[in-house]
Amino acid sequence: MSPLIVACRCILVLTIAALTAYALRHHLFVLSRLGQRKSRDMMELVGYVAPSVSVLVPMHNEENVAADVLQALVDCDYDWAKLEVIAIDDRSTDRTGEIIDEFAARYPVVKAVHRKEGQGGKPAALEFAGAQATGEILLLFDADYIPGRSMIKFLVTPFCDPEVGAVMGRVVPENGGASLLAGLLELERGAGYQIGQQARHTLGLTPQFGGTVGGVRASVLKAVGGWNTYSLTEDTDLTFRLLLHGWKVAYVNRAECYEEAPETWQVRSRQIRRWATGHTECLHDLWKSWLRAKTLTTAEKIDGLFVLACYWTAPILVLGWLASLVLFFLPQAHSSLAFVVALSFMGYQLFGNQATFLELGTAALLDGNPRVKMLPLSLFNFFGSTGAICRALLAFYLGGLFGPGNHHWHKTKRYRNGNGKNGANGHANGNGRKNGNATAARLLIRAPNGIYLCRQEANLT
């Protein structure tokens, strides 16, 4: 047997093993989420007093959305005596600073912080503003997010468990109807939170703090060394440092917050490349201490490695596909049963990993999301993400060999035009976009209980 055939088969075996492991994990999560019946004795609530909260909202050129998020936050039903909203104008060159100042003048609960110079990126802005925060709990929201009325209460509640160091809420795209990609990302986010995060929380694994729609204890953040201002995924970095120090991360599925998903592939590609680079960086930085940690269970360690290495599956997958392509053209390889078995498994695993789609479908079923009919089109998203991740990791590893690599923080593009009315009754903004046409399709409607509902959800009520 030629060395080429042997090499190709080895790559195939590696690919199948890696992807099957991830597939089994997805199946476990789906079963866990479907059968979720968790009883609690609530004893941690005894003597619990709602803590003081600082909400940090970093904004870099966010004039389109700044008013929406700040209005939603001041409308929240958390006791103002224990609340401060720190709106961070992070070196903005547009009207963001003015909008923040207007809100600070109007609402005493809003504190305007202007950062005119210094290192770029969200972690640096958080590090800067965090020093001025007085709350026991620091909650974070990106500027394009719209928290519901009870959001702060939902996010603060898990901290009644003294072992919880950070908490994460659920991110729901509100612009799923804006483009095909946004719709597909709505399905993807549903799977990630409704199934993945919830199952990891229920199974006692490692739910991830996502850097927005979440919070961390101020004292704990300080104890683990603060924000890593050099990381492209400071949220992943913080999650793993918290867990390494023995803290738990909690996930609250009902703490639902609305975001703008990328509407064009260019924006999405840039976003996923940043995530892939930052995540892989964390893997390199933390895997040794993660495996040696005494505070973690074996299941947590395994799941943590799955999370950290998740972006490696893309290049592994491409390698496996290239190996099967080479074998396809070698007639002497066709006679072997192993080749056919490998190719068949590749068929299932390579082009989609149906377990991922099972997660997407199950999440849509639980949420009652009619966009589930778009599920087969997710293959395009899958192919696109695979390509983008491979590109990012290639740059990451080649950058590591030949230089410092790509460490630019790219801000995700916003589509909404803000007026403090959370997508409703808008006017044309500087870019000429109007609420009432493209934006109208994704109006948020405020229900009598103060919760923002997407149009589709509101129609159900």
Partner 1 sequence: MRREYIYPHRSVRAFPVSRLRAAAAIVLAASLTAGVARFAGPLLDLHHRITSLTIKIAGIPAGETTAVRVFSYPGTVPAASVPIPRHGDNPWRAPVLFFATLAALTLVHRLVPLARSFILFLSVLLCAAGLVIIVHPMFAFDAATYQKIWLQGEFLVWLLLPWVSAFLFVLTLPAFFHGVAWMLAVQAYALFWSAVRLAFCLGVFHITGILYVPLLWFCLGVLFDLVYLLAFYALALGLALPRAVGRRRS
Residue ranges in 427-456 that form contacts with partner 1 under rule CB under 8 A: 447, 449, 451
Q: Shortest approach of partner 1 to residue 390 CB, angstroms?
A: 9
For 195, phi then psi, to 5°, come to: -105, -60
Stretch that binds partner 1, among 12-20, 106-114, 159-167, 262-270 (CB under 8 A): 262-270
Contacts by residues 429-432 (CB-CB < 8 Å, ≥ 24 positions apart): 429/64, 430/63, 431/64
> Binders of partner 1 among 357-376, rule CB under 8 A?
357-358, 361-362, 364-370, 372-376
DSSP percent split of the chain into helix, strand, coil, nearest 5: 55, 15, 35
Q: Shortest approach of partner 1 to residue 170 CB, angstroms?
A: 8
CB 167 within 8 A of CB 155: yes
Residues that contact partner 1, how many (by CB under 8 A): 71
Q: Shortest approach of partner 1 to residue 5 CB, angstroms?
A: 16
Q: Shortest approach of partner 1 to residue 450 CB, angstroms?
A: 9
Among 51, 120, 226, 384, binds partner 1 (CB under 8 A): 384
Q: CA 213 → CA 209, 284, 368, 419, distances in Å?
A: 9, 26, 22, 21
184 or 242, CB closer to partner 1?
A: 184
Does position 116 interact with partner 1 (CB under 8 A)? The reply is no
The token duo for 207 is: 């739910």
CB 83 within 8 A of CB 50: no
Burial of 98 (0-12, 13-18, 19+ CB in 10 A): middle
305 or 451, CB closer to partner 1?
A: 451
> Binders of partner 1 among 4-63, rule CB under 8 A?
27, 30-31, 33-37
- Give SS3 for 54: strand
Does position 395 interact with partner 1 (CB under 8 A)? The reply is no
Does position 182 interact with partner 1 (CB under 8 A)? The reply is no
83 or 374, CB closer to partner 1?
A: 374
C-alpha span between 296 and 294 (Å, rounded): 6
Q: CA 372 → CA 195, 334, 355, 359, 397, distances in Å?
A: 15, 38, 15, 11, 37
CB 264 within 8 A of CB 179: yes
The token duo for 361 is: 């479908």
What is the end-to-end Cα distance of the chain in Å, rounded? Answer: 65
Q: CA 327 → CA 45, 138, 339, 383, 407, distances in Å?
A: 61, 54, 8, 22, 38
> Binders of partner 1 among 131-160, rule CB under 8 A?
148, 150
> Binders of partner 1 among 282-321, rule CB under 8 A?
321
> Binders of partner 1 among 62-81, rule CB under 8 A?
none
153 or 245, CB closer to partner 1?
A: 153
Instruction: Provide the strand spans (E) within 232-291.
Output: 248-259
CB 19 within 8 A of CB 183: no
Q: Shortest approach of partner 1 to residue 94 CB, angstroms?
A: 27
**Cβ neighbours for 304, distance < 8 A, ≥ 6 positions apart:** 205, 206, 240, 243, 290, 296
CB 452 within 8 A of CB 72: yes
Q: Shortest approach of partner 1 to residue 252 CB, angstroms?
A: 10
> Binders of partner 1 among 219-258, rule CB under 8 A?
253-254, 256
391 or 433, CB closer to partner 1?
A: 391
27 or 455, CB closer to partner 1?
A: 27
HSE, CB side, 13 Å, CA atoms: give it for residue 242: 29
99 or 316, CB closer to partner 1?
A: 316
Q: Shortest approach of partner 1 to residue 162 CB, angstroms?
A: 25
Q: Shortest approach of partner 1 to residue 24 CB, angstroms?
A: 11
132 or 449, CB closer to partner 1?
A: 449
Q: Shortest approach of partner 1 to residue 321 CB, angstroms?
A: 8
> Binders of partner 1 among 330-359, rule CB under 8 A?
331, 334, 337, 340-341, 343-344, 346-348, 350-352, 354, 357-358
164 or 195, CB closer to partner 1?
A: 195
